[in-house]
Structure 1
């Protein structure tokens, strides 16, 4: 599983980072940085939770 961030939609509110800080980091400019190109299987549920919780709908998963 991979995650993509729509930079045009992302507002940097940090919900993804709060749910999965080992996978997402919001930098000082309010931009989300992904910590893994390929999400480890044991982290996939956290990613799905973050994607569904993003208020800007800026996160997407691909397989």
Structure 2
């Protein structure tokens, strides 16, 4: 389950994947909105791993 925490790291580490302008979203180039999209996704992943840890009795 803790491997989920590596997804944001890998997704943002591979810069050539998102180093482009298109597709744009509401006028923002892909480079910016891709990085901003990881903020709530990372929070969600941290919460999922935290809840799983609580179920298993970990602190």
Higher strand share: 1
TM-score (norm 2): 0.31
Query: Of the two, which has the highest radius of gyration?
Result: 2
| Larger relative helix fraction | 2
Structure number with greater CO (CA < 8 Å, separation at least 6) is: 1
